[in-house]
Amino acid sequence: MARHLSTRIRLNPDPAQEVALRQIAGCCRLVYNLGREQRRDFWRQYRAAEGRSLHWMGQKKELPALKEAAPFLADAPAHCLQMALQDLQRAFDNFYAGRAGYPQPRRKYEDDSFRFPDPAQIRVDPRAGLLVLPKFGRRAGDHGAIRAVFHRPIRGRIRSVTVSREGRHWYASILLERREKAARPDPAPITAADVCGIDRGTVVPFMDSEGLARGHAILPARGSGEAKRRRRLEQALARAKKGSKRRAKVRLKLAAHRAREARRRRDMIEKVTTEIANNHRVVVIENLPVRSMTASARGTVEDPGANVAQKAGLNTAILDKGWGMFRIRLEQKLALRGGRLIVVPAAFTSQTCACCGHVAAESRVTRDLFRCVSCGHEAHADLNAARNIRDRGLALLGLAPSARIERPAAGMVVAVC
């Protein structure tokens, strides 16, 4: 089985190299945004007549002409410019398939990234701490190999390298292909005790059906100094005059702040998913359409949405916890260990009593407390939901709900049903 995985390394470019990296990112961003406009205009004018939209292979052929009009584009490796168009194709494919919104223009500081697709032109030297890429150490007289921090061995065949800026730092994500034996599933039959349900919440990121809350200790609390700092930066950015030096400074600070948040979230997701995958053969989660849940409640001028502020707060909370990434990483890690992820419908998991099955919105007393109006069963609301999710998974597997395993976690009230 060929497995793809990527390793991210921190780059330490010298000042001249950093200027070159920024220029390449700028060229790729320009090509991406021009390609996007071209697609949009083509669609508006010719869609009805031609019955098709543009494809990146066609746009790629126009790159030489574009380079003649804008000679500075020649400073960027041709492959990287082509990959920008391929990324654009993927963004449109995702849009057409309903997986994402209409592709947005790439913005400076926020989407500074480009990809080297040809393994023959890439060389990594972990011992010397060097990364060789086209225009960087490939030929005498170019910008020279980039110094990098390799914190783990590079095993497998290199497929591509993506260079990106996050805040003040540059990173390279090395995509590797490894041949590995597929994990053999445990031959013992799956019993109810092997199945774990997980509820994803906005206060406790992940709560499992055994009453164990995960992830909350790794993220900074809402309303903490970190959150305040971010708000201050956002306000300062709104106040700064467009095109001013101050604005550029604040933007960089804000980008650094967001990058730190993203690193923290990734770290949390990796730790939590590894722990869950190590300890459970079957994990059940609910199918949450993250995109529609995070869509703004603002509505339109004719039809203004309700609870705009509340929804906006919830949006940040949901995105903060990185649900989409959680599902992807958990599925991958379970597969490697011969385990399995089951996704069940999410409807009413928070309003159903895990004990008697009664469904009532009134049973959800507060954000944290569930008290069944029919049988009086009382539990942490997230735990109650996690049990419903597990039971839906069990039903799919044809198993009866297990005798409940009660394991009170520190600081948690667990009611025995």
Residues forming contacts to Zn ion in the complex (CB under 5 A) are: 353, 355-356, 358, 372, 374-375, 377
Name the minimum Å distance from CB 407 to Zn ion.
Answer: 21
**Least Cβ distance, residue 352 to Zn ion (angstroms):** 9
- State the nearest-atom distance from the C-beta of 414 to Zn ion, in Å: 16
Catalytic residue among 87, 331, 382, 391: 382
The Cα–Cα gap between 328 and 340 comes to 12
Q: In terms of CB distance, is 300 or 366 closer to Zn ion? A: 366
Q: Is residue 125 among the annotated active site residues?
A: no
Distance CA 57, CA 135 (A): 24
Count CB atoms within 10 A of the CB of residue 279. Answer: 14
CB 405 to Zn ion: min, Å: 19
- List for the chain the helix, strand, coil content (%; round to 5): 45, 20, 35
Minimum distance from residue 360 beta carbon to Zn ion (Å): 9
Among this protein's residues, is 75 annotated catalytic? no
Give the bridge partners for 170, in sequence order.
Answer: 11, 165
Give the shortest CB-356-to-Zn ion separation in angstroms.
3
Write phi, then psi, for 399 (nearest 5 degrees). Answer: -110, 150
- Give how far Cα 211 sits from Cα of 40, 199, 234, 332, Å: 50, 10, 37, 24
CB nearer to Zn ion: pick between 219 and 353 = 353
Name the minimum Å distance from CB 406 to Zn ion. Answer: 17
CB closer to Zn ion, 254 vs 355: 355
Beta strands in 253-323 (DSSP E): 282-287
Closer CB to Zn ion, residue 122 or residue 354?
Answer: 354
CB nearer Zn ion, residue 229 or residue 358: 358
Identified catalytic residue from 199, 208, 210, 320: 199
Q: Give, as one character, the DSSP assignment of residue 131.
A: E
Based on the residue annotation, tell me whether 199 is a catalytic residue of this protein.
yes
DSSP-derived pairing of the beta strands 282-287 and 213-214: unpaired
Q: Are 265 and 320 in contact (CB under 8 A)?
A: yes
Report the distance separating Cα 56 and Cα 414, nearest Å: 55
Of 57 and 356, CB closest to Zn ion: 356
d(CA 159, CA 6): 10
Q: Which is nearer to Zn ion, 256 or 415 (CB)?
A: 415
Q: Which of 162, 116, 112, 120 is nearest to 9 (CA)?
A: 162
Return d(Cα 26, Cα 24) in angstroms, integer. 5
Q: Beta-carbon neighbour count of residue 151 at 10 Å?
A: 10
Strand-pairing partners, residue 10, are 149, 171
Of 232 and 358, the one with the shorter C-beta distance to Zn ion is: 358
Among 87, 166, 286, 391, the one annotated catalytic: 286
Q: Tell me how far apart the alpha carbons of residues 161 and 130 are, in angstroms, rounded to a whole number.
A: 13
In three-state secondary structure terms, 277 is helix
CB of 386 to Zn ion, least distance (A): 16
Distances (CA, A) of 68 to 25, 32, 163, 295: 19, 17, 26, 41
User: Crossing angle for the helix pair 15-50 and 78-96, nearest 10 degrees?
Assistant: 50
Length of the chain: 417
Catalytic residues: 199, 286, 382
